[in-house]
């Protein structure tokens, strides 16, 4: 955290309107109580945008795959290889593994 993004709760109490009106659109202000971070103050439009990306209207979170996972899945779907499962006896596998 950077010091210009930190607000003491007492400062917020005394200057709430000024602090809220000066809140950057894509940044946050950290509110400290007894020298410990307790809350984050963010612009409402930014908050709604971020939540719209990550949650649906019922607050179910969307989970996005990381780029590598997406690429690997796409390559698998595009490949014409047929993957066949092979039966392996677990005990034989472990016995061969020990050797």
| pLDDT, tens digit (0-9, with 9 covering 90-100), for 25-47 | 657 889 999 989 999 988 888 88
| pLDDT, tens digit (0-9, with 9 covering 90-100), for 42-86 | 888 888 777 777 777 777 777 766 777 777 777 777 776 666 666
Identify whether 38 is part of a domain: yes
The answer to whether 31 and 9 have CB atoms below 8 angstroms apart is yes
Tell which wins on pLDDT, 34 or 23.
Answer: 34
Identify whether 10 is part of a domain: yes
Confidence of residue 2 (pLDDT cuts 50, 70, 90): confident
Beta bridge partner(s), residue 6: 30
Q: How many domains does the chain have?
A: 1
Identify whether 61 is part of a domain: yes
β-pair type (36-42, 28-33): antiparallel
CATH number of the domain within which 33 lies: 3.40.1620.10
Identify the domain containing residue 19 by its residue range.
3-78
């Amino acid at each position: 955290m950077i010091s210009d993004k930190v607000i003491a709760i007492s400062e917020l109490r005394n200057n709430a309107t000024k602090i809220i009106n000066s809140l950057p659109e894509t940044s946050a202000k950290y509110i400290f109580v007894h020298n410990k971070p307790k809350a984050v103050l963010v612009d409402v439009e930014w908050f709604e945008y971020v939540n719209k990306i990550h949650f649906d209207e019922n607050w179910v979170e969307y989970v996005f795959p990381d780029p590598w996972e997406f690429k690997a899945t796409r390559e698998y779907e595009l490949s014409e290889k047929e993957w066949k499962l092979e039966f392996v006896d677990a005990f034989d596998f472990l016995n061969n593994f020990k050797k």
